[in-house]
Amino acid sequence: METPQPGIPPSSAGVRGQQSLSGDIDAPIVVPAESSGTIDNPNAIGGDVNSRDSECSISTSALSRVFRGVVVATKTPDEVAAPVHEWISSKESKGTSEHDATATSLRPEEWCKAATSGLLHEDSEQLVLAAIGVAFLREKARRTQHATPADLATVWNLIHGAITHPMTTGPCFTASRSSQGFLAVPLCSLVKDGNIDELYRFHIWLPDGQRGNLDFAVHSHQAFAQSWILSGVGRDYQYTFEPVTSMADATHTIYALSWADDKNTSTTYKTHQTSSTVVNTGKLGRTTRTSGPTVHTRDMSYYIPSAVFHSTEVAPDTLHATLFVFDSHRGFVKDAPVLGPKDSETSTQLRDPAGVTPAALANMVETVRSWEILMEEGQQHSERAEWEHALRAFNKALNVCASVPNANRYKHQVFGHLGNTNRRFGRYEQARDILERALAEMEPDGPERIEFSGELGVVYRHMNRLEDAKRAFEDQYNTAKRLSNERAQCRAVGNLGMVNYQLSGQSRGPLLDLAIEQLTERVTSVRRLKAALDTQSSDPSQRHLLNTFTTWEMVGLSRLSLCYTARGEGEQAIKAASEGVELTTRSADSTAIAMSRLFYGRALLLDGQHQEALKQFNPPSGCTPAIALCKEPSKEHRSYLAEL
């Protein structure tokens, strides 16, 4: 089974629960909802690079083996490789480890220091540094140790440095186009008896729309495979294939795979290919998806056992990059076919990268990684209401966008957060301008449109432009509906209910009735979403979802109490607000808790229960309703403050 290994860098822990972009205290969901088979978070077992789990030495023999693979991958001339092999072998007996005079293993940083001081030519040094990076990842995987975010950063820095170094003595990293649409750069290639023994590659999907021939997306691998995510988002699916005899019953047929280089075409694996070809074998079958999408993001890892049918999906306008290994020592199956159309004969994929160099690819990934880190930093500050720091991080991310491929896609995401952050400062005009610009440039059915239109609606509400707010929330709702996004629909219908309540002038009539109907739908919808979760799960993403949905339910009930109060149904208002306050025991959101107390206290006050109301307005600890209202100035909030 394909198993994700989530990991969040120490500098970005908690990112996946950032502040709302489309509701005062409605938190959006950015954790993968359908990730499955999650294993321990690396941070939970020691995210510190100096922790016991992160200390992983590399033996002389292991580095020597990996370097042989690097030589093959880069076509390094013998006269360049031979002195390096001798240098590595010389470490076998020198005992350079500070811990053991007879040691034949060194930690990665010790190997790097030795390579920097012991190799005369920079080309040789960079090749060895790349080998150290691969060997470190290899040792972590072989020992079934988690590669922490710090580990992956170390490995990537070594590999990025080698790929971008201008070699002058003959070694050359090369890129080729895979049939699955990504570009691949071999890093270490060891082939035995015509089959992959160990193969490490750098994979990158560019935001160029090229995603391979989707007819052949479902495939399997001979060797056990593992992937470590460098940047972007990938979605993986798994399938079963059941043989059938009837063409009518078949969805796919098995295709046999062969590779071609400058010499021949055969089923023998070739590191440096000119093309690959699949040929219909006539073996029919029915394909059934068994899992997915499993969402993978930066610093996660997952594996694919031999011969398991799977596919990977990457949005055509985004960049996604991984480090990938085929390791036959952890599993190998000779017959690992590709699935394709039952009525086709053959298909050939040329490996030509169309002029894109490995160095350019590596630099693109480095830029996107920097952008992601800045965005996560800004989101962390937003979670803590550190708006000035958040604004600084988002502005830095915006500057990085100039060097990111398909810059508009990434700029739009920054605009959303800049709009949200400016709103938190009460800079409504700036927030409005940023969001209106982003929406004008955005595709009508882009998923970000849901967030941005919702956020713009909130800005309009705070500017008392209620009709504009309603149009924005309708855009949010309709986009979510077109994209079949139930969660976004839940949030949007709640936003519509609130603006219709405001438009009703708090007087009885059709708009107030509609507001109650919409907010009731909001509460019903979020309870349905909560019911689908495993409340006993220890999965962090499941716990986050449960907390998020609880906050949404609290907000919906509080707003529903406002509507009942306006309709003169005090008992219903108190009941709804009371249910919201009861949920606060399961929430860590101090602002949401305070606002729930505000609306419960308000319902009690209007019912003449003054002392009970004061208990809600003046809690013995935590954020008070008055403080919560002051966090974000608006005409609506000023009216509640006046009541207090």
Q: Provide the pLDDT for residue 638.
A: 86
Reduced to 3 states (helix: H, G, I; strand: E, B; else coil), residue 313 is strand
Please tell me the predicted confidence (pLDDT) of residue 50: 40
**CA 132, CA 153: separation in Å to the nearest integer?**
13
Q: pLDDT, tens digit, for every residue of 597-633? A: 999 999 999 999 999 999 999 998 888 999 988 877 7
Do 300 and 5 meet the contact criterion of CB atoms below 8 Å apart?
A: yes
Q: Which two tokens stand for residue 572?
A: 């219903």
Smallest CA-to-CA distance from 346 within 261, 241, 429, 265 is with 265
Q: Which residue has the higher pLDDT, 102 or 547?
A: 547
- Both tokens of 463, joined, read 């500017």
265-266/252-260 β-pairing: antiparallel
d(CA 137, CA 152): 8
pLDDT at 52 over 50: no
Token pair, residue 215, equals 């007819």
| pLDDT above 70 as % of the chain | 90
- Calpha distance 49→108 (Å, rounded): 12
Q: Over 50: is that where the pLDDT of 5 sits?
A: no
Pairing of strands 234-243, 309-313: antiparallel
Please, which pLDDT band fits residue 506 given cuts at 50, 70 and 90? low
Q: Quick check: 56 and 143 in contact, CB under 8 A?
A: yes
Task: Summarize pLDDT for 384-412 with one digit per residue, the tens.
Answer: 878 899 999 999 999 999 999 899 999 99
Phi/psi at 574 (5° precision) = -65, -40
Cα–Cα distance list, 353 to 205, 377, 483 (Å): 12, 34, 34
Rounded Cα–Cα distance for residues 117 and 110 (Å): 11
Residue in 222, 224, 225, 223 with CA at minimum distance from that of residue 203: 225
SS3 270: coil
Assign 2 a pLDDT band (cuts: 50, 70, 90): very low
91 confidence band (pLDDT: 50, 70, 90): confident
CA–CA separation, 602 vs 599, rounded Å? 5
The answer to which of 57-61, 344-348, 392-396, 590-594 has the lowest mean pLDDT is 590-594
Residue with tokens 């699935």: 339
* Contact status, residue 33 vs residue 105, Cβ threshold 8 Å: no
pLDDT band at residue 98 under the 50/70/90 scheme: very low
CA distance 385 to 623: 13
Least confident of 172-181, 207-216, 304-313, 412-421: 207-216
Q: Which residues contact 553 (CB under 8 A, 6 or more apart)?
A: 523, 526, 527, 530, 580, 583
Q: Answer whether residue 85 shows pLDDT above 60.
A: yes
Residue 40, pLDDT > 50, answer no
Per-residue pLDDT, 1: 39
Element (H, E) at 176: strand 176-177
Omega prior to 28 cis, within 30 of 0: no
Separation between Cα atoms, residue 371 and residue 398, nearest integer Å: 8
Is 478's pLDDT higher than 50?
yes
pLDDT in tens, 439-476: 998 888 888 899 999 999 999 999 999 999 999 999 99
Domains, the chain, ordered by start: 47-164 (no CATH), 176-348 (2.60.120.10)
- Signed CA dihedral, 321, 325, 330, 333: sign only: positive
pLDDT at 104 over 90: no
Q: Name residue 408's amino acid.
A: N
What mean pLDDT comes out for the span 557-575? Answer: 94
| Token reading at 142 | 């072989």
Compute how many other C-beta atoms are within 10 angstroms of the C-beta atom of residue 145.
Answer: 18
The answer to whether 398 and 411 have CB atoms below 8 angstroms apart is yes
- 195 or 5, which is more confident? 195
What average pLDDT does the structure give for the chain?
Answer: 87
The tokens for 46 are: 């020691």
What does the pLDDT average to over 282-305? 94
DSSP string, 68-126: HHHHHHHT--HHHHHHHHHHHHHTTTT---SS-TT--EE-HHHHHHHHHHH-SSHHHHH
Q: Is 64 helix (H, G, I), strand (E, B) or coil?
A: helix
The whole-number average pLDDT for the span 165-190 is 94
Residue 519 near residue 556 (C-beta atoms within 8 A): yes
Gap between the Cα atoms of 386 and 379, Å rounded: 10
Rounded CA separation 262/275 (Å) = 10
Q: Which residue has the tokens 């508009």?
A: 408
625 closest CA partner among 571, 567, 580: 580
The arithmetic mean of pLDDT across residues 550-556, rounded, is: 92
**What's the distance, CA 402 to chain centroid?**
21
Tell me what percent of the residues of the chain surpass a pLDDT of 90: 69
pLDDT at residue 28 tops 90: no
Three-class DSSP category at 237: strand
560 touches 519 (CB < 8 A): yes
Distances (CA, A) of 46 to 52, 220, 451, 608: 8, 34, 35, 55
User: At residue 326, what are phi and psi to the nearest 5 degrees?
Assistant: -105, 120
With tokens 């309009």, the residue in question is 460
Which among 615, 516, 518 has a CA at the least distance from the CA of 566?
Answer: 516
* Share in percent of the chain as helix, strand, coil (round to 5): 50, 15, 35
The pLDDT of residue 387 is 87
- Phi/psi at 350 (5° precision): -75, 145
